[in-house]
A and B are shown apart, each in its own frame.
Chain A
Amino acid sequence: MNALSSDTSDHVQTYFGNGFNWLHTLRNAWIITRREVRDSFRDWRIVVPIFLLTLFFPTLANFTSRVFINYFDKQGADGKEFIEAFLPLMPMLVGFFPVSISLVIALETFVGEKERRSLEPLLSTPLTNTELYLGKVFAAMIPPLVAAYLGVGIYIGQMILGSQQWRPDFSLVVLIAVLTTVQALVMVTGAVVVSSQTTSTRAANLLASAIILPMSILVMGESILMIQPHQRYVLWYVAGGLLIVTTLLVRTGAGIFNREELLGRSIDEINLRWAWRIFWEQLTGITREERRAAKAAGRPIRPNPIRYYRRTVFPSIRKLRGASLCLLVAMILSFAGGWALSEKWQLPLENKDNNQILDDMRDIWETAQKDPRWVTLAVTQNMRVLFVATLLGAFSFGVASILLVILPFGILGYLMGNVTAAGISPLPFIVAIIPHGIFEIPAIIIAGAAALRLGSVATKPPQNMTVGEAWLRAFADVVKIGFAVVLPLLMIAGIFEVHVTPKAVEWALTL
């Protein structure tokens, strides 16, 4: 055996001996974390701020607190109440500032390494994408989190041991620790998503404002809640919400953090021609190759609606099965939730005479049926809501589109609950929904599901597809389904809503 050869190949063979398990994954991730943390502590640009924020800032915050306490002590009882409300704010802020450094480390860890080209040797090792991702996320989180906990500890320690004698509740300390941790998680996982879209730290730093600005606004909101002892419990919900955001960001980050994405992207450039081709292919269902082949064969592809629906529209709808089911469940839950709320907060309803209601409504119906603009109004109103739901869904991983779409069903549940509780027959209400609802509800489910998919596709793009391509294809599906399915259904629903539903309600009221 010479220096070049050894028996180490046996160890490589045993690398995969135990199959996949989480312990193995975490152990491998820890190898990355250890190196990165050591590296971070060798960088004075990271060490100095962490050191200052851990030791100096808590002391400064402590000094500020003392000044406030002394001032408000002089105000008597009102002052004491203010001190109780104000003091928990400081440890929260003391914890937030070191955590904000996690963003810098994360950007450095992901984009910095990409920029220095030191990522490729790492990508050439048998580590899985998950191990690399976790290793780097931990590395970006651990030093700032330790600094944050230490900072909070130092602040609280000084408050306990100092002249203020302030002892925070254990639950408050836990709340601050949880908030600090989830904030760090959101920033780091967000930074991974941001850094995946760039190839230079400069560009990443510019994009980082997309994280730091919302986080700063969030901390301001948290501060408002923190200084109101009776509203403080809401911060637990905030922490829960942040955890959900983290989960979505982790899904997106883990999807993006793959070898193909990391090395396939070499320059930050928008390729409009490519984007348009992908969009057009997905919209028409005809690939460029098919178009070329048909042209070469002297048989250019002509528009054929039946073929278009069969080959393109229906397969796109089939892709929405999961999202539709999710939306349907959310709608039912929203309806049930609305109904449950009606038991708590009841509307003062009176059982009106049906004839009186009919007289009140007839005038409106007759006007509506004579004027075709009412159909247009019904259609545009629905389209507008679905458009906004799609737009918001695209920027919120689909969450906003679910909320917007299920909201009317919650209101409906609330009203139906109230009507039933008041002993009024629910039949006219049900009849007021069903005739046009047969078309409108499926249209809403399909459009909502498409919007949900558009927002959530970034969290887990299909295999062999970049996030950009997956998003463009989902967007093309939204447009396609919107025009080919949702709009026609809503138009039929609009006609029914103006011309059929009123007659059905009239019939139900005369029973």
Chain B
Amino acid sequence: MIETEGLTKFFGDFEAVHNVNLSVPPGTVLAILGPNGAGKTTTIRMLTSILAPTSGWAKVAGYDVVKDAARVRASVGVLTEQHGLYERMRGLEYLDFFGRIYHLPPNVRQARAEQLMIRFGLGDAFGKRVGEYSKGMKQKLALVRSLLHDPPVLLLDEPTSAMDPQSAKLVRDAIIELRQDKRTIILTTHNLTEAEALADNIGVIRRGRIVAYGDMASLATRFVGPPLMELKTSQPLNGLAKDLAPLVKVVENGENWLRYEASNPAEINPQVLRRVLGLGIDVITLSQLTQTLEDVYLQIVEEDEGQEKQSHERAVQ
């Protein structure tokens, strides 16, 4: 479980993170999205008790990040922005070193390191020097390091960056598995498709502020409007758009197709279908147009930029 309230961090005069409020229950994944320098890494570092918040508080796995810093760090597995591996060490030796730090008994750390390396396709690289690993292998080894002590909370900074599609899928599957295992997971990523696939909730951070927070559906409704339906028919829809106006908001239409907003598709779509079929028009398809996280994200960024511009203009005046 991760909870924060009013989490703020200043570096000198610069406010890196402002008033971040999060609540991530066990068994859920929160994806934090945002451009470089938005405050994602600083937030993760505060949740790892590496940086102390300037104000506000955060609890990770039930421990306060300031008062119980060491316990927080014992309870989280962190995949840092840069994997930060010791290149002269061998894969297993590296994990053994971290296993010792977490006081895992020798047999446990050996077995666990081997299991995890095999799980992530590093079975052939036990004795290889880390410096000889490929970028993706290094990333996977860093991920194994973060899982080694079986932490209840995982903070993953760009977990699949530098990975080939097959390895990335391995990691995504592992994240899904860990979520099912009731782990609390926060991941930061620039890969919006990945965030959409993995996250229960999404937080968009810009200039240190969480500008949008919620599940994909609520964010989509808030920022790009209700779900968009597309109706395709075999005959021309002469005047149908006007007929449907009291029922739905038609946003676009052509000769034998139209698109409308349906805030509650389960209720509205049957009525639309009844009306169309009642007019003797054959329906080819009625489908929901996909609103991708990319659409939502870009809309959020656009709105935020607009607000920023307005406040800047006000300040100038």
Contacts and interface: CB of A to CB of B under 8 A. Distances in A.
A12 B76 contact: no
A3 B115 contact: yes
Contacts of A14: 103
A120 interface: yes
Contacts of B181: 4-5
B86 A39 contact: yes
A474 B119 CA distance: 55
A391 interface: no
B13 A121 contact: no
A120 B84 contact: yes
Contacts of B84: 116-122
A125 B108 contact: no
Nearest to A2: B177
Nearest to B49: A259
A271 interface: yes
A187 B267 CA distance: 77
A277 interface: yes
Given A5-B181, A120-B84, A125 B102 contact: yes
B59 interface: no
A373 interface: no
Nearest to A275: B12
Contacts of A277: 13
B11 A264 contact: yes
Interface residues of A, number: 41
A264 B102 contact: no
B286 interface: no
Given A9-B150, A121-B78, A123-B50, A4 B103 contact: no
Interface in B25-75: 45, 48-52, 70-71, 73-75
B50 A120 contact: yes
10 contacts: A2-B177, A6-B115, A8-B148, A35-B89, A116-B84, A117-B84, A120-B81, A121-B145, A123-B50, A260-B52
A5 B85 CA distance: 23
A8 B177 contact: no
A128 interface: yes
B279 interface: no
Interface of B: 11-13, 45, 48-52, 70-71, 73-76, 78, 80-86, 88-89, 97-98, 100-105, 108, 112, 115-116, 118-119, 142, 145, 147-152, 174, 177-178, 181
Nearest 9 A/B pairs, CB to CB: A3-B119, A117-B82, A118-B84, A126-B74, A124-B78, A8-B150, A3-B115, A126-B73, A126-B70
Interface in A4-63: 4-9, 11-12, 14-16, 28, 31, 35, 39, 42-43
A259 B51 contact: yes
A3 B116 contact: yes
Nearest to B79: A121
A125 B73 contact: yes
Contact of B142 (A4, A9, A42, A121): A121
Interface string A207-237: 0000000000000000000000000000000
A19 B81 CA distance: 32
Contact of A11 (B75, B81, B82, B102): B102
Contacts of B50: 120, 123-124, 259-260, 263
B101 A125 contact: yes
Contact of B108 (A4, A6, A35, A127): A6
A263 B41 CA distance: 11
A16 B51 contact: no
Nearest to A32: B101
A273 interface: yes
Contact of B152 (A4, A9, A464): A9
A4 B52 contact: no
A170 interface: no
A75 B85 CA distance: 62
B80 to A, nearest CB: 5
B116 A274 contact: no
A127 to B, nearest CB: 6
